[in-house]
Structure 1
Amino acid sequence: MAIAGMVAAGLTLQPAHAFLARPALFAAIGAATKPPAGWQQFCAENADECRPGTDQVRDVVLTPEKLQELYAVNKYVNDRVVWTSDDALYGKAERWTLPLDRGDCEDFALLKRKLLARAGWPQGSLLITTVEEPGPGRGRHAVLTVRTDRGEMILDNQTPEILFWYETNYRYLSRQSASDPNVWVSFGTEQPKPAIAPTER
């Protein structure tokens, strides 16, 4: 389904002024690290999804229209795919794939990446990211980071809200490099914070 169709299907326009007014702040990236085993398995089965993009690495200018595209894709995938564990679907602990109607967090992120790339977003702005959730269990989770000129935004299957990376409660572990999806990088131990906490969402 085209993004224009997603918007036409009834998604209301999300206010953009609050996003555009926030400070542009990028996460501190560390050294190269080993790609997740799930990504390597996914690439072995979907080589076309894993080739470095031919588009120039750049940060997308975040306009109200581009923000709306993010909301449209995030809502479409979150509404369409029912979270289901890999163990229930495939009988194994971990398997990354493009979902049809069921999948886990990595599958949500992969489908959002594919739909945004199909809509013209450069591959280098769409980065699968692994995080650690807060709380006693401290489970692992995956989201899609979208790089824009206003900073990095997080598309998450656990919420319809789109947040800047520094507004989540996650501890960031690793993500794809903007220049090559098969190169993964860690996050710096010290991360910048906005000078003034955002008061509007």
Structure 2
Amino acid sequence: MCGMNSQFSRTRRGRFNRFFALAAFSSAMLTGIAGINSAFAQTAMPVSANAIQVAGNAGPTPAWIAFCAQMPEECTYDASEPARIVLDQTTWKAIVEINERVNDTIIPVTDQDHWGVADRWDYPGDGLGDCEDIQLLKRRMLTEKGLPHRALRMTVVIDELGAGHAVLMARTDRGDFILDNKRKAVLPWQETGYRYVKREGSDNAAWVWLGNQAAPIVTATK
């Protein structure tokens, strides 16, 4: 899925011995997240963004189907949840900080290097993961902070290199914003430079087609 050039070595693997298992790792970050003083944190509330337009139905990726078979609780749909997040200063700060913290903690590695397969969706419990694994962890942490799962949608895009890439779309009352492992900033979808292919639906468990809607090219920020 992710268009990464990764050469993963035994030396780098040794760095992950200091990471917690996923449950402890997630819990520790959530406990300390309020005290993070990030030099990059976007403290100001964002201006309103546009909501992306849905163009029809779409099928999920085979790796998503396999992930849901393995972890069905992560793919459930709850119509009683809000379809959009009501953004306030506290919620925006949590979104920005979790995006940055996970990006700074999980080291990107392709599924081929990590698991020996072309595409696998999973949680990065060993501190390693590609784009979709990183976004799944962000979603788990945000839902543990009380944000609605229904408003946090896994999304497939084409990146600036023409490769498939996964991001997390936060659907809010101020528009749709993107959490991405390629940049620390949480951006409105139309400022990412990506072409939007499909995402999880907000009205049922099916995926929806986004019609390859294009956003202007911007420079990725790390």
Structure 1: any 5+ residue segments left out of the alignment? Answer: 194-201
Farther-moved stretch of structure 1 (56-65 vs 148-157): 56-65
Q: Give the structure-2-normalised TM-score.
A: 0.78
Aligned to 1:8: 35
User: Do structure 1's residue 185 and structure 2's residue 208 form an aligned pair?
Assistant: yes
Alignment match, 2:136: 110
Q: Deviations over 1:111-146 (max 9, x none)?
A: 1111111111111110000000124xx100000000
**Given that residues 27 and 192 in structure 1 are in contact (C-alpha distance below 8 angstroms), is that contact kept between their aligned partners in structure 2?**
no
2:156 paired residue among 130, 140, 143: 130
Sequence identity, in percent?
A: 33
Q: Secondary structure at the match of 1:154?
A: strand
Equivalent residue number for residue 68 of structure 2? 43
Residue 3 of structure 1: CA displacement? Answer: 3.6
C-alpha change, 1:192 and 1:106, in structure 2 (3 Å) is: closer
User: How far is 1:82 from its partner?
Assistant: 0.5
Correspondence for 1:29: 54
Deviation of the 1:4 alpha carbon: 5.4
CA distance in 1, matches of 2:212, 2:151: 22
- 1:189 & 1:148 partners in 2: Cα distance? 21
- Give distance in 2, aligned partners of 1:185 and 1:158: 24
User: How far apart are the structure 1 equivalents of 2:118 and 2:188?
Assistant: 30
Paired residue for 1:159? 183
SS, match of residue 152 in structure 1: strand
Corresponding position of 1:86: 111
Q: 1:24 to 1:91 in 2, by over 3 A?
A: closer
Considering only aligned residues, what root-mean-square deviation do their CA atoms show, in Å? 2.0
* Residue 119 of structure 1, aligned match among 145, 153, 161: 145
Unaligned runs of 5+ in 2: 1-27, 217-222
Number of residue pairs aligned between Structure 1 and Structure 2: 187
The alignment's TM-score, normalised by the length of structure 1, stands at 0.85
